[in-house]
Amino acid sequence: MNSLLKYLLILLGLISVIINIVLICLNSNRLPKCMSQQPQESLQVTHSDTSLVFADLTAEEYKSVRDYMWAQKDLKISHSLKAQPSENFLFLIDLLLPRKADVLRYLDSSGQKPPREASVVVFYGERGYLKEYVVGPLSGRLQHRDVTQEKYNTSELPFTARTVTIGEYVQLFKLLYHVFQKLEKPLSESFGYIPRQRQLLPFEGMPRGIKSGDRKTWISFFRDFSGMYIHPVGFEMLINHESSNTSNWTVDRLLYNGQYFDTIEEFMARYKASSLKKIVYKEIPNHASLKPRKKPSGLGPQQYYLQGKRYSVKNNQVIYLDWSFAFGLSSLTGMRVFDVRFKGERIAYELSVQEAMSVYGSVTPGMILTKFLDSSIGIGRFAHELVRGIDCPYAATYADTYRYIDTNITQRFRNSICVFEHDIGRPLRRHFSDFFHNGYGGMANSALVFRTITAIGNYDYIWDFIFYQSGSVEARVHATGYISSSYKDDGNLQYGHQVAENVLGNIHTHFINFKVDLDILGVKNIFQTKDMVYKEVPLPWMPSEKAKIPQLVEQQIKTEKEAAMLHGAKTPRYLHIASNQTNRWGHHRSYRLQVVSFAGDSLPESESTERSMSWARYKVAITKHKDEEQTSSSLYSQNYMWSPYVDFSKYIEDNEMIVNEDLVAWVTAGFLHIPHAEDIPNTVTVGNGGGVILRPHNYFNEDPSIHSPDGVYFGQGSESDCEYNKMACLEKDQCSSTLEPFTYHGFEGVMKFD
């Protein structure tokens, strides 16, 4: 027995060894192949604290400014998040950008660092007006000064120009609840409404009226589904909430199934008498749900950094190969970068989002007048956490932002900015030589992307600033999210397409305005245009024969009015901000503005609200830089459209000279959106976007990417040589990537009304 047991143990041992050898052989190909890879030195970059001159306020700075303003007893500012319209409310704290000349002295001439200050907006419900302040210095003993007069040429702003706050929404929802109690029977029979169980969800139209001082909002109602925006029920209500005393608010009109009623009582009487066209409730599936129709079956391609990241993010500065820039996120206007340098030379002082605007067509009141100006609500305000692997590549670098807008505490938005290097998927340049000198030369188009995404109501905007190794920068936006819709009624198919049962997707435009403050070899620049004409010329070797050939046409534009390029008008195809210096070949060193846009028509100037969005008239407008012309729109433009406090067209009316001046380009891109069935459940980004590309034009003596370490070159017979072709050694050098765990905290920052 002992011998038998001994042999069995030996046999089991041999079997175990054989199994392990087989498993090792089977899995050997799956192990990281890093044997030939030389350990890469850590990225060697030198960051500069000078970028902090553009940095958003810190959580501590927001708190110190808030506490200081609260401590001013004469201002009587409420501490409540849900302050009523009759109370004084500190609505906004944001960074006050220093004057450009002061910043340039600090950055370029070892000048004194500009003092750090905050911009503050207070809604005075007790007094019936709005005011703006500057608070600072943030590094010392705080003081405040009223800047309303110097900014807007008036000592106080009208109270009805304010953004609707969370506190005001709470009061509006209370009013709606009381109205719904009176309307419970028709709402139940028509729309399946069950109090506190199956709600009707509101969506407001803007502007709030038809003249200055109005604050009368049409509210449309939608089924209580996720993606409510494409579940209209055919019921709308006009609320008058002009008074700061909420007890004075009234319901001025009702719309039910295309029929208008002056009062709740009139509607109820007609409904009970069945003397109107009724809607009969019918349960329907949620065609707006974004839950996949099939369970995920696997993962698509993922991006990894095989030899580590080639960019570095510290504080608010990014360094990537030859690029460096500072960044920030304004609560009102959103994403922005400053002091953009390539190979050490400043290309742009500022590149920023200014406004996102949409104009709708409809026959229903909730949308017939609607024109959304998102900066009045806050574009950057709605930059929530980005979802790793979907909103940005999984291995991207993520940064938090802090904001104080329509709140009473500083809010942290985790991972709301991402930075990543990305292979565009097509070569930046290449050539295969088929004749004579056989060879291949090319370069992958790897670029740095700086991104945030804002979800403002129904629409999501993906904002990208992209930095290419050729010295180009692209500012780009893509739209997704949900379309706005209205209940299908007689005659409204001329305003869109039906996209679901009783649902009309309303035609609308998207206009996006960017500020491009280019400094080409300094702040003394000129504006040039280039285009072509066909010119008939005699053939030099046969003068009797003629041919029409393309000829270059160049022009220097000298005034702001000449440089205002209207949408629809013939615009030169090459637009340049140029220096007076020349490259090796004698041409002005310049950057070209190349606009990518599929925009619809801008609002006619005869419309009473047009001046609040007058920047949208222009595809490109070039103005002389002024610190007081900081933005193209305003916090108050949405709710005071008829008498805007920032009318961009005024920047051009003074028609200043733009020769050898510090020039700013204001670029408008966008697209016309005619909703269609494929916008259900929601809109895809493909084809829905626009932007502007800043391209070097004679700025260099050759394409700077020829110096990139990413270049590839090989000839016949040297295809496997790794010296100038790293792709040939990729298989030996690839390793398994170590990824961070998936987390998400984005729901921490959503708006609460209860």
Tokens describing residue 431: 């050539």
Gyration radius from the chain CA atoms: 30
Q: For residue 267, is it left (φ>0), alpha (ψ between -120 and 50) or beta?
A: alpha
Give the Cα separation of 473 and 447 in Å (integer).
10
CA atoms of 672 and 597, how far apart (whole Å): 9
Tell me the residue length of the chain: 754
Helix (H/G/I), strand (E/B), else coil: 97 = coil
Cβ-based neighbours of 140, under 8 Å, separated by 6 or more? none
The CA distances from residue 627 to 69, 180, 651, 703, in Å, are: 26, 50, 12, 34
Angle, vertex CA 215, rays to CA 211 and CA 216, nearest 5 = 95
Q: Report the b/e string of 437-465 with b at 16+ CB within 10 A.
A: eeeebbbbbbbbbbbbbbebebbbbbbbb
With a CB cutoff of 8 Å and minimum separation 6, the contacts of 153 are none
Contact predicate 308/381, CB 8 Å = no
> Which of 443, 441, 440 minimizes the C-alpha distance to 426?
443
Place of tokens 């574009």: 379
Q: In which residue are the tokens 């819709």 written?
A: 485
Q: Please check whether residue 674 is in contact with residue 497, taking contact to mean a CB–CB distance below 8 angstroms.
A: yes
Collapsing DSSP to helix, strand or coil, 374 comes out as helix
Please give the structure tokens belonging to residue 564.
Answer: 């205002």
Q: Is the Cβ–Cβ distance between 312 and 47 less than 8 Å?
A: yes
List the structure tokens of 370.
């609607």
- Four-point Cα dihedral 640, 643, 649, 653, nearest 10: -160
3-state DSSP call for residue 177? Answer: helix
DSSP tag of 726: G
> What is d(CA 382, CA 744) in angstroms, rounded to the nearest whole number?
16
Cβ-Cβ contacts under 8 Å for 721 (sequence gap 6 or more): 714, 728
Looking at the annotation, which residues are catalytic?
Answer: 374, 459
Q: Which residues of 571-604 are buried (b: 16+ CB within 10 A; e: fewer)?
A: bbebbbbbbeeebeeeebbbbbbbbebebbebbe
**Cross-sheet strand order for the sheet of 503-506:** 485-487, 503-506, 496-500
For residues 695 and 747, what is the distance between their CA atoms, to the nearest angstrom?
A: 39
Do strands 564-566 and 542-557 pair parallel, antiparallel, or not at all (unpaired)? unpaired
Listed in sequence order, the residues at least 6 apart from 363 whose beta carbon sits closer than 8 Å to its beta carbon are 486, 489, 491, 492, 495
Q: Give the angle 120-122-125 at the CA atoms, nearest 5°.
A: 180
